[in-house]
Structure 1
Amino acid sequence: MLLRFRAWRRTRPFWAGALLVLSGAELLVVPLSPVTVLVSLGLGGLAALGIGLALIAAGLFLWFLPSARHYVSVNALILSVLSFAATNLGGFLLGTGLGIAGSAMGFGWTPRETPGRAPGRRPADRALAVVLPALLVTAATLSPGAAGRAAASSAVPAAAAPPAVTASRFAPRGFTLAGVGEVPTARGPLRVLVLRMRAASLSDYRLTTRDGTAGTQLALAARSLELRGDVTLYLTRFRGCLEGILCLTFSPDTLPVPPVVPPFVFMTDVRAEQALVTADVIRADGLRLRALPGV
């Protein structure tokens, strides 16, 4: 039995397939771990599920369809690189590293030539190889950029002109880029970007209304603002610098591609247009409110 397995293993890129299977399994396991700093992008981390299953399928392709190794390896490499942006930095780099190594080994593997037998490809190989692009499309569909478009709308009315918000630091916990939705206003529905999280803290919080129909505007300021519970932000625009380094702008029509969000996430120099915010608990330290002349 062992000799037969060894002979079978030597006729295909076995270790390349094993690395891809391990890579996919690692991407699937990481979101299920009890680590509390994980960032889940998209609807429930579906990107990790799609990419992980696709990498496992790619590894099985290398085992059972070695003649399609070049085609499979290129697709697996794309998925491995995509996982870095979509699934907790590629499972904290381990899943991405295993996937890239397995793809390279699979692409570079050369079969042993059998004397008197011309190399060829079975028709079934080509027919079955087309399944992998379908898996790639499925993984891309489950990635944050596509999954985010299915966000639920809010039933709470919001201001027609969203207030302008600034903060020197924004630190969410359990951050999820839920996608695009709508909030009702007196002037009709307003498209918003929906961010969900378990809690968030903002430093040097400033909010200024932009609706001058009442003749005055309100300016609200606080040294710190704490949001806890089921926190949801509805924003028409959101700009900030991840870890104080990488500055990105989010909007309902121009989501960053790919949306790279580190696991220990915080943002500096935040500027947003906040249509609505809901939370179980909102606590402000040093709250100040004053009226400004209407514009």
Structure 2
Amino acid sequence: MAEPGRPKTRAAFRDWRGRRPFWGGLLLALGGAEILLTEKASLKVVMHIGMQGLAGYLLPTLMLLLGLLVLFNPAQRLFYSIVGVLVSLGSWLTSNLGGFFIGLLLGVVGSCLAFGWLPDQEARVSRRQRRRERARA
């Protein structure tokens, strides 16, 4: 059974999500998380190998951080998305081909979505709502 406060929470989350590039930040963060999960070497081995091995952990961590920054600080989304796409492309060289291309693609697509998001755009009318309006008319 639904709680009485649940619709308010859902509406608040929807309002919060509409004021920021939610899907772009989420995909960028998921791309970084996926690359981190596909890393095979332990941190002891990476520290022994040197900076090239450390970059394999540094770039996906930066992708994850940039995705969260896009979500929680949308005013700086242009800078974060440009750095995000560069870091995502850099992960191709340092982190198992960018997490076997999945993390790389998630990062690039998320960064592009965050870059193209416009803050003052009106909310789109859903297809269901347009059908209802046509049926009424």
Structure 2 CA distance for aligned equivalents of residues 5 and 86 of structure 1:
36
CA drift of 1:53 comes to 1.0
Aligned mate of 1:66, from 71, 74, 79: 74
Residue by residue over 1:17-71, the C-alpha shift from the partner in whole angstroms, topping out at 9 and shown as x without a partner, is 01011111011110148xxxxxx8x538322210111011111111111111111
So what's the TM-score if we normalise by structure 1? 0.34
Preserved contact between residue 24 and residue 53 of structure 1 (Cα < 8 Å) = yes
Larger relative contact order (CA 8 Å, sep ≥ 6): 2
Alignment of 1:7-26 (within 5 A): 7-26=15-34
Say whether residues 1:103 and 2:82 are aligned partners.
no
User: If each structure's strand is expressed as a fraction of its own residues, which one has the higher value?
Assistant: 1
CA drift of 1:113 comes to 5.4
Partner secondary structure for residue 118 of structure 2: coil
Amino acid in the other structure paired with 2:31: S
Residue of structure 2 in register with 1:50 after alignment: 58
Bigger radius of gyration among the two: 1
Alignment of 1:125-140 (within 5 A): none
Structure 1 CA distance for aligned equivalents of residues 26 and 53 of structure 2:
24
After the TM superposition, which segments of 4 or more aligned residues of structure 1 sit over 6 Å from their partners?
A: none
Unaligned runs of 5+ in 1: 34-39, 115-295
So what's the TM-score if we normalise by structure 2? 0.72
Alignment of 1:262-281 (within 5 A): none
Number of aligned residue pairs: give it.
Answer: 107
Preserved contact between residue 70 and residue 106 of structure 1 (Cα < 8 Å) = yes
Coordinate RMSD, CA, aligned: 1.9
Structure 2 CA distance for aligned equivalents of residues 95 and 27 of structure 1:
5
CA drift of 1:90 comes to 0.6
